[in-house]
C-alpha cells in the first residue's frame, strides 16, 4: 500500500488530478478540505459530485451537518478509517485538498491526553490576556481573535494546570502518517487567477445563491461553516450589499487571497515535496506508484 498527498491552492485542479490518478492506481481518496466535510454544502465547497466520484471510495466528504463541529481530531479519525479500509481492500490512499493545517497535523502528529472541549469562563479577549500573561512564548504565535486556538490553549491550561508550552514539551507530538509522499501542483499566478474566476462563474451558474438561501433557512448564520468563502459573500448579496457582478468579483478576489495563503503555507511547512506543473506532476505520481 502506498500513500500520497496532492496539495496546491484552491482551483489548482487537485480534485480532477486525484480522480484520474485513483482510477489508474487502484486508490481510494481522503478529502483534505475543511468545507467538503459538510453535508449539503456542495457548490460552495466545490466537492466532486457523486457522478464525478464514480466507483472511487471517498472519505472526508459529507461527514457532518453544517451546524455540527468538525476539527483536526475528527479529520485524523477519518484518515485512520481510510487507511484501515485501504489496507483491508488492497488499495492505495490518495489524500487531496487545500487544508494544510490538517496535513501538517498528520505528518507531525498532535499531542493527546486532553479533552479539548471546555467552556470559556470569560470572553475570548480576557482569556487570551490571561494565557498571554502565563505563557507569552506560546500565545504570541496566536492572533487575539483566533477563538479556536485560544480555546484549545485554555483547555490545556484548565485540564492539566500546565501552560501550553510546558504541556507540549512534556507531551511531544508523534507522527501519524509516516510514509506520506507529497506532490504539489504549481501554476503561474495569472493562470491561477483565471482559473479562480472561471470556477467562481461556475459556482454562480451551479446555484450557490440557492444553496446559501437553503443553508441559512435551515441552519441560520451562526455555524462556523456559514462564514466560509463563497457563503459569506452570498449572504452579503442576499442582504442587498452586493449586486450579482460584485458578488462574483468578491468571491473571486477572496479566493485569490486564500490561494496565496495556501501557497505560502505549503512552501513554509512542507519542505519535502515534489512540485511541478499539473501535466508533469501526473507523470511524476504515476512513476511513484
Residues 264-286 have a mean pLDDT of 93
What contacts 24+ positions apart, CB below 8 Å, involve 126-133? 127/154, 131/157, 131/163, 131/164
Q: 22-37: per-residue pLDDT in tens?
A: 999 999 999 999 999 9
Q: Tell me the backbone φ, ψ of residue 58, rounded to 5 degrees.
A: -120, 140
Whether the per-residue pLDDT at 122 is higher than 70: the answer is no
Give me 107's grid cell: 505528518
Chain centroid, CA 41 distance in Å: 14
- C-alpha grid cell for residue 205? 451558474
> What is the predicted pLDDT for the residue at 186?
95
Residue 231 clears pLDDT 80, i.e. is over it: yes
Residue pair 96/5 in contact (Cβ under 8 Å)? The answer is yes
Residues 59-75 pLDDT 10s: 999 999 999 999 888 99
Q: What is the pLDDT of residue 266?
A: 94
What pLDDT does residue 178 have?
A: 84
| H/E stretch holding 27 | strand 27-31
Which fold, 3-108+175-288?
Answer: Rossmann fold (3.40.50)
What is the residue whose three cell numbers read 501554476? 187
What are the distances in angstroms from CA 100 to CA 34, 120, 139, 250? 10, 27, 21, 23
Specify the domain boundaries for CATH 3.40.50.300 within the chain. 3-108+175-288
DSSP string for 184-228: EEE--HHHHHHHHHHHHHHHHHHTHHHHHHHHHHHH-S-SGGGGS
The band of 260, judged by pLDDT with boundaries at 50, 70 and 90, is very high
C-alpha to C-alpha distance for 69 and 151, rounded to whole angstroms:
14
Is the pLDDT at 117 greater than 80, yes or no?
no
Q: Which residue has the higher pLDDT, 118 or 289?
A: 289
Amino acid at each position: 500500500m502506498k500513500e500520497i498527498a496532492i496539495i496546491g491552492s484552491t482551483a489548482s485542479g487537485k480534485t480532477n488530478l486525484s480522480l484520474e490518478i485513483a482510477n489508474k492506481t487502484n486508490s481510494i481518496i481522503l478529502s483534505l478540505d475543511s468545507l467538503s466535510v459538510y453535508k449539503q454544502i456542495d457548490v460552495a465547497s466545490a466537492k466532486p459530485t457523486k457522478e464525478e466520484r464514480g466507483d472511487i471510495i471517498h472519505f472526508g466528504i459529507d461527514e457532518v451537518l453544517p451546524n455540527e463541529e468538525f476539527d483536526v481530531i475528527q479529520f485524523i479519525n477519518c484518515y485512520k478509517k481510510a487507511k484501515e479500509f485501504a489496507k483491508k481492500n488492497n488499495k492505495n490512499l490518495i489524500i487531496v485538498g487545500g487544508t494544510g493545517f490538517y496535513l501538517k497535523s498528520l505528518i507531525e502528529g498532535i499531542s493527546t491526553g486532553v479533552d479539548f472541549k471546555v467552556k470559556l469562563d470569560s470572553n475570548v479577549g480576557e482569556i487570551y490576556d490571561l494565557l498571554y500573561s502565563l505563557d507569552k512564548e506560546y500565545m504570541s504565535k496566536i492572533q487575539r481573535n483566533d477563538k479556536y486556538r485560544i480555546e484549545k490553549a485554555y483547555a490545556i491550561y484548565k485540564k492539566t494546570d500546565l501552560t501550553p508550552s510546558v504541556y507540549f514539551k512534556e507531551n511531544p507530538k508523534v507522527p501519524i502518517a509516516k510514509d506520506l509522499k507529497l506532490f504539489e501542483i504549481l501554476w503561474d499566478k495569472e493562470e491561477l487567477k483565471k482559473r479562480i474566476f472561471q470556477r467562481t462563474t461556475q459556482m454562480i451558474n451551479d446555484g450557490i445563491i440557492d444553496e446559501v438561501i437553503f443553508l441559512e433557512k435551515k441552519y441560520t448564520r451562526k455555524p462556523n461553516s456559514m462564514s466560509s468563502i463563497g457563503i459569506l459573500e452570498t449572504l452579503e448579496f442576499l442582504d442587498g450589499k452586493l449586486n450579482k457582478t460584485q458578488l462574483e468579483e468578491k468571491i473571486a478576489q477572496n479566493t485569490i487571497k486564500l490561494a496565496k495563503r495556501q501557497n505560502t503555507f505549503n512552501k513554509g511547512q512542507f519542505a519535502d515535496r515534489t512540485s511541478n506543473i499539473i501535466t508533469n506532476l501526473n507523470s511524476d505520481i504515476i512513476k511513484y506508484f
